[in-house]
Amino acid sequence: MRVFSSALLQARLGGVLRGDADKKITSAASLENARADQLSFVVGQKFLQKASQSDAGLLIATQAMADQLDRDCLIVANPHAVFAQAVVLLHPAPLPASGIHPSAIIAEDAHIGADVRIGAAVVVERGAHIGTGTVLGAQCHVGAHARIGAHALLHPRVTVLHGCELGQRVILHAGCVIGADGFGLAWEDDHWSKVPQVGRVILGDDVEVGANTTIDRGALDDTVIEAGVKLDNQIQIAHNCHIGRHTAIAACVGIAGSTRIGAYCQIGGAAMIIGHLEICDRVTVSAGSFVAKDIKSPGIYTSVQPLMAHEDWKRNAAHLRHLDALSKRIRALERTAPNQANNKEPR
């Protein structure tokens, strides 16, 4: 267990400390459950009462919130972001032991940088490059000539297949697969023939990929995930996709092949995006939405039908089947209405 004084936390995190500089902080917790030796944070007026009643020994807050609290506070501009940094200090991730586990299988010509940690049953194939300070958890597989940058963290059972490249400080969570074959098929007479997938996957610096997410290699060109992109668990990104920097994508999203998503986008959980689309920078797609055409202007886009009682849904669905016919009837009426008005005799 790590123990920090309030003053040491302030020195590491920045901000202005108000209160007991010698108070010992051992961990982080929610406002509701924090103890006197724990740290929490408060954002927004709706959490003010919980903060005032919390037993937390130290609160991270803005100046405006701290002025309303008679509590020890670390005053910062962005409490949520600083709290995240504090959690890293107080709750360091468990790492494999230093060095290379005896059960790991490392190709003779693989490059292993300084201070690399390699866990049990890891396989690193020929010509692979593992950068300085990188951690490979148990049972990870790094394919031939794959390159992993410095200070990356691969949790257990991550697969990085041949030729793929990862930047610095990349985090890959358990079970994710980088560089599986894309769904390339050609119809030949009466059956499907596999189209070889010869591109790679390129991940930029500071990319994070969630557990069991899959990113397919390109068919000919590369699949590219730019710097700072954050991907949640169980996402499917198909071959030849390109995702711009600092975009965040929530769980269970499916993105079909050759789609380009811009920078600073946010894609809500379970959204589905068909292939060969262009989505510009700074677009937000609501959870569960179906994206079937290009998005050329920044903004928030939603295509979710609101939840309703099943019987109401059935009635509405019945009307939806007739929308095209109703639209044609309305257009016909609009064409005839002016003529009828012109044919009326004056009173």
Best CA proximity match to 231, nearest among 216, 249, 217, 206: 249
Best CA proximity match to 27, nearest among 114, 108, 91, 106: 91
Find the angle CA(30)-CA(36)-CA(39) to the nearest 5 degrees.
45
Could you say which of 129, 173, 239, 242 is catalytic?
A: 239
155 is catalytic: no
What residues contact residue 188 under an 8 Å CB cut-off, 6+ apart? none
For the chain, the maximum distance between any two Cα atoms, rounded to a whole number of angstroms, is 103
Distance, CA of 249 to CA of 335 (rounded, Å): 47
What residues contact residue 45 under an 8 Å CB cut-off, 6+ apart? none
In this structure, what are the phi and psi dihedrals at residue 140, rounded to the nearest 5 degrees?
A: -70, 150
Catalytic residue set:
239
